[in-house]
Structure 1
Amino acid sequence: MMSTERARETAEAQGAMARLALGFTAWAERWFPDSYVFAAVALVAVAVGALVMGAPPLAVAKGFGDGFWSLIPFTMQMAFVALTGYVVASSPPAGRLIARLAAVPRTGRGAIAAVATISMLASLLNWGLSLVFSGLLVRALARRAELRMDYRAAGAAAYLGLGATWALGISSSAAQLQANPASLPKPLLQISGVIPFTETIFLWQSMLMAVVLVVVSTAIAWMSAPAGEKAVTAEEMGVALEGAGSALPREKLGQAAGEVQAKRPGEWLEHSPVLTVLLVLMAVGWLGQEMSRQNPIVAISNLNTYNLAFLMLGLLLHWRPRSFLDAVAKAVPATGGVLIQFPLYGAIATMMTATKGADGHALSDRIAQLFVGLSTAESFPLLMGVYSAVLGFFIPSGGGKWIIEAPYVMQAANDLQVHLGWAVQVYNAAEALPNLVNPFWMLPLLGVLSLKARDIVGFSFLQLLVHAPLVLFMLWALGQTLGYTPPVMP
């Protein structure tokens, strides 16, 4: 471990902003409860709000029960996004790719910039893939002692996919939900209609924002990374790079657990690629039909299609079912928060939209009226962005929080005649901001890196200081280039 004197020198070198971030994280780790508690508090607050508006207690209870299981399909879909990303990232071919990528950088700062770019680009495909793949890449780079790479700054760079770009990519919970009418709660569907990817993540305004964030975030990661003697390596932090969380050593790359010879006849199929080949061939045949009969963008916007493609890719990359199943078992804990919290979000959404007060209006109507009263079509993206970012500190779930916000946000967007797809992207870009300092989504990455949140948040806080004004400005400026289109019902 680092000596007390070295730790003091490191803290001084980080500057006032990083010390502030370290203080914030220490406070958050001490006082912030689990995110489930925030979801439960939000549910109670909505119930109290409905009662204050004059809703009968039995109506509030009915809204709770009716909505509790309303998001089961979407809950399972989001759990599979996390699971499939982990499985793909931990496959033997991914390990070989990590080894090749880790051999490229020539300096510690260059390595950190590379991690930042790869993390953000991977997150546009799958946020789970981004976390695990980037974490394993950091560990592989840390083994190159000649780089003298700051391990904390590299960890923060690996987290940029979740803190900058993931919600602008195809695993965006809000965009996926709005593109899938079968997953949308009926009250929300009646307000927003179906919004395809072409009106959300594939808008040129959204893609431009993603490009800007990748370039700016990579530059900040490079400039803020300590170099030379100021860099703190994994070894100096006492991190064992060949432990359970590490990638496979170079000499064992490609030797997956599933490649061990079966010891009993019953294990033969577990260690044979026969079933893998048959399953993947059937999946490829089905996916080919889906892509040929409709626009590929429309096809991949279906969460079931997206998850099937990633699941089969993970199976193919692991090659043998035993290796695949071992990876799935390791990925399951990352889905726990989704499985236990999304029923509460479903209950909240139903209570907000279906439980009427004494005047015949739901709580979502009242909040929508407040948004309309405080903003115009021009200022709505800025106001909503600030609101969504602040709420994200307390409800760190992209899909779950959208279920809560969407009914009144989309109603307000309709009333003000704001482009509905852009309203979704405003939410997406702003929702990612608090991820930069919120420990909740850091947990899978921190497990891979053997770090604590306080080790990386000083660097991610610097990113937040730049991202917040930049993102809010882009949301406002780019929003002026889009016009309103009425909701499209399925």
Structure 2
Amino acid sequence: MPNANEGALARAALRSSAWAERWFPDAWVFAALGVILVAGAALAFGATPTVTVNAFGDGFWSLIPFTMQMAFVVIGGYVVATAPVVARFIELLARVPRSGRGAVCYVGLVSMLASLLSWGFSLVFGGLLVRALARRGELRMDYRAAGAAAYLGLGAVWAMGLSSSAAQLQANPKSMPPGLLNITGVLPFSQTIFLWQSIVLTAVLIAVSLLICWFTAPSEASARTAEDFGVGEATATPPLPPRTRPGEWLEYSPLLSLLIGLLGLGWLGYEFASKPAVTAIANLNTYNFLFLTVGLLLHWRPRSFLNAVARAVPSTAGVLIQFPLYGGIAALLTHAPGLGGDTLAHRLSGLFVHIASTESFTLVMGAYSAILGFFVPSGGGKWLVEAPYVMQAANDLHVHLGWAVQVYNAAEALPNLINPFWMLPLLGVLGLKARDVVGFTFIQLVVHVPLVLGLLWLLGMTLTYVPPVMP
């Protein structure tokens, strides 16, 4: 039970955590329940059993390319974050906090700032920072609260920065399907993530999230440490074992890393020189290539790099086994027509357009994207499903198109706070379960929902509609 001396929010977080530890299912179960729910809804609206099962089966493997990209986001982030020089930097960062509660807030700040660059890097870097802080025996830090803080990058602001696949997609006409391009035109970052309204929203979210971290972090008397969860003190970058046979000399020599790294840097240099930086970085393959190349060079020796990759792969297990289920859910939403030939997605879009107005667009779209995002978490694939009808509605209602993208970005992060799917890489680093941290992230969700929707509506009032700009 929570200590009577704890603050109200800390007691609420501890009660939520206790409930989640007892009742919260494994992340795969969450995804499986989503499949059953959406399939049941498709059947209820008139889809035949044959159409329903075919949609699920056809969609099961539809996200494999994106799944591999997401897996490499995790691997690339892990490889960079565990490079010896970065690991030493993390150890230096871990010396800063002076109290357990301060350490939790510190982790939250680092995580959110890092997520604006790369959500994959943020998860791993934040998780390793928590592990480093946990090794400080004199620092009585609640391991659950710190783990939840390390997840705030994904739960609060990741899509407001360069990690935003929706903003990246809209800035790059070659990435968009023709139907969407005809509706929205090209929306450069200056019209999405670099709007001053977007920057203000991001700053407010960071500040409020840190306040919640402070007030929900348990006191030293109630804190549960890493030892309480059976998490050892092993470092993320164990020393490289000595070479034992002549055939390993290339693995221990920096020669191959240097040559391949130079090739990679040469290609990256050409990419960024031949096109605007925001366009180059908008390509997720370029994003992953950059992190893998930097990781290879930072590890210097191929054996160190390969060992880091081997340690990263288990963290991708949840992504690999769950994304096919989400692909099936997306197909059930979009390819299982019921009565009148309408799919669930069309029914949702019709309802959306029917009830929205110019004034209420941001509130309706934000709530809709958040709810749908709980069942179809996606770093960009869901935007391809939603964008054609929500952006057409934005055009019809004369809503600023770039702000519509930011409404989606801010709202789709909300369900991440309690959806365990995106927690998986971080949980792999921390050695925790989703139920260990979701009690704390639930409190963040309760505060974030009205805050995000209110700010989206208020800041949206300062923008005027600009017709689509075609390439």
Q: Quickly name the TM-score band, shorter chain normalised.
A: 0.7 to 0.9
Matched, 1:439 2:397: no
Considering only aligned residues, what root-mean-square deviation do their CA atoms show, in Å? Answer: 3.4
Matched, 1:89 2:81: yes
CA distance in 1, matches of 2:345, 2:221: 55
CA distance in 2, matches of 1:360, 1:457: 39
Which residue of the partner structure matches residue 349 of structure 2? 368
- After superposition, what is the alpha-carbon deviation per residue over 1:196-243, rounded to whole angstroms, capped at 9, x for unaligned? 3333222222222111111221222123323343433334x2534324
CA distance in 1, matches of 2:133, 2:55: 51
SS at match of 1:229: coil
- After superposition, what is the alpha-carbon deviation per residue over 1:53-102, rounded to whole angstroms, capped at 9, x for unaligned? xxx99988887788666655444333322221122112211210111111
Call closer, same or farther: CA 1:353–1:390 in 2, change over 3 Å.
Answer: closer
Letter in 2 for 1:156: A
Indicate if the aligned counterparts of 1:74 and 1:177 stay in contact, CA closer than 8 A. Answer: no
Q: How does 1:292-371 map to 2 (within 5 A)?
A: 292-339=273-320, 342=323, 364-371=345-352
Indicate if the aligned counterparts of 1:109 and 1:222 stay in contact, CA closer than 8 A. Answer: yes
Matched, 1:37 2:47: no
- After superposition, what is the alpha-carbon deviation per residue over 1:402-442, rounded to whole angstroms, capped at 9, x for unaligned? 34433432332233232232222212211212222233322
Call closer, same or farther: CA 1:30–1:80 in 2, change over 3 Å.
Answer: closer
CA distance in 1, matches of 2:93, 2:347: 52
Indicate if the aligned counterparts of 2:399 and 2:464 stay in contact, CA closer than 8 A. Answer: yes
Displacement after TM superposition at 1:313 (Å) = 1.1
Matched, 1:21 2:16: yes
Q: How does 1:25-424 map to 2 (within 5 A)?
A: 25-26=20-21, 29-30=24-25, 34-38=29-33, 40-41=35-36, 44=39, 48=43, 51=46, 71-181=63-173, 183-184=175-176, 187-235=179-227, 237-243=228-234, 246-248=235-237, 255=239, 257=240, 260-339=241-320, 342=323, 364-424=345-405
Call closer, same or farther: CA 1:287–1:321 in 2, change over 3 Å.
Answer: same
Call closer, same or farther: CA 1:9–1:69 in 2, change over 3 Å.
Answer: closer
Deviates more, 1:468-477 or 1:135-144: 135-144
Indicate if the aligned counterparts of 1:77 and 1:303 stay in contact, CA closer than 8 A. Answer: yes
- After superposition, what is the alpha-carbon deviation per residue over 1:18-65, rounded to whole angstroms, capped at 9, x for unaligned? 25523652465249753442553466357547855xxx9998888778
CA distance in 2, matches of 1:488, 1:361: 31
Call closer, same or farther: CA 1:67–1:458 in 2, change over 3 Å.
Answer: closer
Call closer, same or farther: CA 1:417–1:28 in 2, change over 3 Å.
Answer: farther
Call closer, same or farther: CA 1:117–1:151 in 2, change over 3 Å.
Answer: same
Which residue of the partner structure matches residue 475 of structure 1? 456
Indicate if the aligned counterparts of 1:395 and 1:401 stay in contact, CA closer than 8 A. Answer: yes
Displacement after TM superposition at 1:122 (Å) = 1.0
Which residue of the partner structure matches residue 430 of structure 1? 411
TM (norm. structure 1) is: 0.83
Call closer, same or farther: CA 1:461–1:316 in 2, change over 3 Å.
Answer: same
Call closer, same or farther: CA 1:24–1:234 in 2, change over 3 Å.
Answer: closer
CA distance in 2, matches of 1:363, 1:150: 43
Call closer, same or farther: CA 1:167–1:362 in 2, change over 3 Å.
Answer: same
Call closer, same or farther: CA 1:194–1:75 in 2, change over 3 Å.
Answer: farther
Letter in 1 for 2:164: S
Call closer, same or farther: CA 1:48–1:141 in 2, change over 3 Å.
Answer: same
Identity across aligned pairs (percent)? 61
Letter in 2 for 1:34: V
Indicate if the aligned counterparts of 1:345 and 1:403 stay in contact, CA closer than 8 A. Answer: no
TM (norm. structure 2) is: 0.86
Point out where structure 1 has 5 or more consecutive residues left out of the alignment.
1-7
Call closer, same or farther: CA 1:328–1:197 in 2, change over 3 Å.
Answer: farther
Indicate if the aligned counterparts of 1:119 and 1:131 stay in contact, CA closer than 8 A. Answer: yes
CA distance in 2, matches of 1:295, 1:215: 31
Indicate if the aligned counterparts of 1:271 and 1:320 stay in contact, CA closer than 8 A. Answer: yes
CA distance in 1, matches of 2:318, 2:65: 16
- After superposition, what is the alpha-carbon deviation per residue over 1:87-124, rounded to whole angstroms, capped at 9, x for unaligned? 21122112101111111222222222211110111111
Point out where structure 2 has 5 or more consecutive residues left out of the alignment.
none
Indicate if the aligned counterparts of 1:413 and 1:420 stay in contact, CA closer than 8 A. Answer: yes
